[in-house]
Amino acid sequence: MKFLINSLLEIQSKHGYLPKNEMERISMEFNVPISRIYSIATFYNAFSLKPVGRHVIHVCKGTACVMGGSEVFEDTLKQMGVLDDEDFTYQPIRCFGACSLAPVVVIDGKVYGKMTVSRLKKIVSKLFEDESKDSDNDKTSKGDEDAREA
Ligand code: FES
């Protein structure tokens, strides 16, 4: 079973999620029913069945974090335009295991404890700015390429 999970982790790392055709291939390769592959893929948080954005935001919905105010963070993110797209993925989690830091938000693997709405807005706004700069750089690069081609 260890090798099967390693193979799934490699696919997850390569694609950012587990494409259906790759799970079917693993099912054949390991002679394991596809239902078993799905059960593994949905059990572990390390796997996703759909593509994830460049920035992944987890809001903890565990008891300590909810008591600390994490319930409003999802609405805050929605109001800011954080959608499930190629830029952002929002995923609630049950408990991150850092309850003493409640409320906890994890953004791109970095744990932010004692989160507040204003702090969340500041961090996410910075991500939007960075995305905007990247987009501008892409346009500039494309413009340079167009200029070279002309
Ligand atoms: S309840 Fe949020 S980290 Fe445990």
> Whose CA is closest to atom 1 on ligand 1?
62
pLDDT of residue 13: 87
Decide: 63 and 102 in contact? Cβ < 8 Å.
Answer: no
Note whether residue 32 is domain-resident.
Answer: yes
Note whether residue 49 is domain-resident.
Answer: no
pLDDT of residue 139: 61
Question: How many other C-beta atoms can be found within 10 angstroms of the C-beta atom of residue 36?
Answer: 14
Helix (H) or strand (E) holding 106: strand 105-107
Specify whether 24 is located in the same domain as 91: no
Specify whether 64 is located in the same domain as 93: yes
Q: pLDDT tens digits for the chain (150 residues)?
A: 569 999 999 999 898 899 999 999 999 999 999 999 999 999 887 888 988 888 999 999 999 999 999 999 999 999 998 877 888 989 899 898 999 999 999 999 899 999 999 999 999 999 988 887 776 776 665 555 544 444
| CA 65 to ligand 1 centroid distance, Å | 5
pLDDT of residue 150: 41
Q: Is 93 in the pocket of ligand 1 (CB under 6 A)?
A: no
pLDDT of residue 2: 60
Q: Is 64 in the pocket of ligand 1 (CB under 6 A)?
A: yes
Decide: 89 and 78 in contact? Cβ < 8 Å.
Answer: no
| CA 64 to ligand 1 centroid distance, Å | 5
Q: Is 37 in the pocket of ligand 1 (CB under 6 A)?
A: no
Specify whether 31 is located in the same domain as 60: no
Structural domain count, the chain: 2
pLDDT of residue 142: 53
The residue range of the domain holding 104 is: 55-149
Tell me whether the omega of the peptide bond preceding residue 103 falls within 30 degrees of 0, making it cis.
yes
Specify whether 18 is located in the same domain as 68: no
Note whether residue 25 is domain-resident.
Answer: yes
pLDDT of residue 140: 61
Decide: 17 and 52 in contact? Cβ < 8 Å.
Answer: yes
Q: Is 105 in the pocket of ligand 1 (CB under 6 A)?
A: no
pLDDT of residue 119: 97
- Which alpha helices (H) appear in 16-96, and where do they start and end? 20-30, 34-43, 63-67, 71-79
> How is residue 143 written in tokens?
């413009």
| CA 132 to ligand 1 centroid distance, Å | 32
DSSP character at residue 59? E
CATH of the domain at 82: 3.40.30.10
Note whether residue 89 is domain-resident.
Answer: yes
Counting every residue written for the chain, the total comes to 150
Question: How many other C-beta atoms can be found within 10 angstroms of the C-beta atom of residue 120?
Answer: 23
Note whether residue 15 is domain-resident.
Answer: yes
Note whether residue 50 is domain-resident.
Answer: no
Residue 70 Cα: closest atom of ligand 1: 2
Question: How many other C-beta atoms can be found within 10 angstroms of the C-beta atom of residue 63?
Answer: 12
pLDDT of residue 149: 44
CA distances to 54, 77, 137 from 82, rounded to whole Å, are 12, 5, 22
pLDDT of residue 122: 97
pLDDT of residue 127: 92
Specify whether 100 is located in the same domain as 141: yes
